[in-house]
Amino acid sequence: MDLSRAAAAALDAADPLAGFRARFVGVDDGLLYLDGNSLGRLPTDTPAAVARVVEQEWGRGLIGSWGDWVERSRRIGDGLAAGVLGARPGEVLVSDTTSVDLYKLLVAGTDARPGRDVLVCCADDFPTDRYVVAGVAAARGMTVREVDAHIDTGLDLAALTEALDERVAVVVLSQVAYRSGALVDIAAVTRLARDAGALVVWDLSHGAGAVRADLTAAGADLAVGCTYKYLNGGPGAPAFLYVRRELQEQLRQPIWGWFGQRDQFAMGTAYDPADGVDRFAVGTPPVLAMAAVEVGARLTAEAGIDRLVAKGRALTELVIALADDRLAAHGVTVASPREADRRGSHVSLAHPRAWQLTQALIDRGVVPDFRTPDRLRLGPAPLYTRFVDVWDAMDRLRRVLDEGAHAEYPTERSRIT
């Protein structure tokens, strides 16, 4: 691999997604933003889309716009289903937060497996996933089995197989590990769980918009995910949930709100869940925030998941090659799977001074993030990150290490990274 900056520029010149960069705000400000897997950039169309909802639908339409708003969770969900998740119409809903949606689907799945008293999750999964599992287990007197995962290479499938038996109701897993980027095969794990009679709730947060989910083809039953990462829906954007069509009528979620009710405005005395995916709704959707999600979802669908995956692989391959070539002598090691088909669209680098390196990079115009215990995480979102951005960021990191500039930063970690 040619590791010169000119070679990176040549990759940009040949990039079929290069035109999408101009559809994001701030890309020419000189900041090397490699944290699109935490919070995606602002699409240029979003301010007008949000303003339209504020000024026209709210400002002029007032309650007359309501009819359109109640449909919107499903309309945007259908767009995500077709353009991003490989699901069918009527299987995806935009609602609530990822944590709340996870709770809803986990309880619904648990209730659908009566007599089973074990929930399975991954010991290294994102905290909210583990906490929600622990909370549901505590409330119901169930046992949690935490399956070991390697911090760099991800879930151990043999350990997962061992954890699955006739006591397991639901398994909660992330498709892409939040720290290392290690990718789990949704189809393979769904088969394993189904053989044991269990359901899986997938957390697609770190994959949606950068990794193929192919939920229908994989036979997935349940999934949730963030829209503010690779889908660029903005801070606090509502999450999505997915329930396989054939399962919907069998499941009841635990928050019996009026948006999940059949014939909502009949204001019936008793809760009677709506047909289809609507029964997984709870209350009034965040209409203003959903306008931003719709723009982000459409942009992603327009770019095409295949092209995004291909570019994400190429960008992360460049990170790995540059780290091996330029940073290994400084004690930096690659803390993510090296095989492209076992990796999402971000890469972690391990270094004992990763916290200080993160701060030094931020002061030099590069935005990565830090993950415990000693990981520098780089998420070059394929929609708007150039190969030269990756090259320049890695060059600044090399210079920090060459000069020892990170030693000037406090070793104590502050709260927000």
Ligand X SMILES: Cc1ncc(COP(=O)(O)O)c(C=O)c1O
How far is residue 2's CA from residue 4's CA, in Å, rounded to a whole number? Answer: 6
Task: Tell the smallest beta-carbon distance from residue 403 to ligand X (Å).
Answer: 33
DSSP string, 111-126: HTSTT--EEEEETTS-
Rounded CA Rg of the chain: 22
152 makes contact with ligand X (CB under 6 A): no
248 makes contact with ligand X (CB under 6 A): no
Torsion of CA 107, 113, 116, 122, to 10 degrees: -50
Can the peptide bond before residue 373 be classed as cis, meaning omega within 30 degrees of 0? yes
Q: Which is nearer to ligand X, 183 or 332 (CB)?
A: 183
Task: Tell the smallest beta-carbon distance from residue 384 to ligand X (Å).
Answer: 19
Q: Which is nearer to ligand X, 343 or 406 (CB)?
A: 343
- Candidate residues 107, 226, 320, 401; the one interacting with ligand X per rule CB under 6 A: 226
How far is residue 307's CA from residue 314's CA, in Å, rounded to a whole number? Answer: 11
Q: Out of 124, 129, 203, 369, which one is annotated catalytic?
A: 203
Q: Which is nearer to ligand X, 130 or 150 (CB)?
A: 130
Task: Tell the smallest beta-carbon distance from residue 181 to ligand X (Å).
Answer: 12
256 makes contact with ligand X (CB under 6 A): no
348 makes contact with ligand X (CB under 6 A): no
Task: Tell the smallest beta-carbon distance from residue 135 to ligand X (Å).
Answer: 13
Q: Site mask, ligand X, residues 161-200, x = CB under 6 A?
A: -------------x---x----------------------
Alpha-carbon 267 to chain mean position: 36
130: CB partners within 8 A, 6+ apart: 121, 122, 123, 146
Q: Which is nearer to ligand X, 122 or 168 (CB)?
A: 122
Determine the length of the chain. Answer: 417
Active site residue 104: no
Active site residue 229: yes
Alpha-carbon 104 to chain mean position: 18
Query: Taking contact as CB under 6 A, which single stretch among the options 95-103, 115-123, 247-255, 376-384 is the one that binds ligand X?
Result: 95-103
Angle at 176 between CA 348 and CA 331, to 5 degrees: 15
- Which helix (H) or strand (E) segment holds residue 143: the answer is strand 143-147
Task: Tell the smallest beta-carbon distance from residue 178 to ligand X (Å).
Answer: 5
Task: Tell the smallest beta-carbon distance from residue 379 to ligand X (Å).
Answer: 11
Q: Out of 88, 113, 126, 194, which one is annotated catalytic?
A: 126
- Which helix (H) or strand (E) segment holds residue 5: the answer is helix 5-13
3-state secondary structure of 296: helix
Burial pattern 257-276, b for ≥16 Cβ within 10 A else e, equals eebbbeeeeeeeeeeebbeb
128 makes contact with ligand X (CB under 6 A): yes
Q: Out of 229, 298, 311, 313, which one is annotated catalytic?
A: 229
Place of tokens 């708003």: 69
Q: Out of 72, 377, 386, 396, which one is annotated catalytic?
A: 377
Active site residue 398: no
Q: Are 122 and 116 in contact (CB under 8 A)?
A: no
Query: Taking contact as CB under 6 A, which single stretch among the options 46-54, 78-86, 125-133, 137-145 is the one that binds ligand X?
Result: 125-133
For ligand X, the binding residues (CB under 6 A) are 97-99, 126, 128-129, 174, 178, 203, 205-206, 226, 239
**Catalytic residue annotation:** 126, 203, 228-229, 377
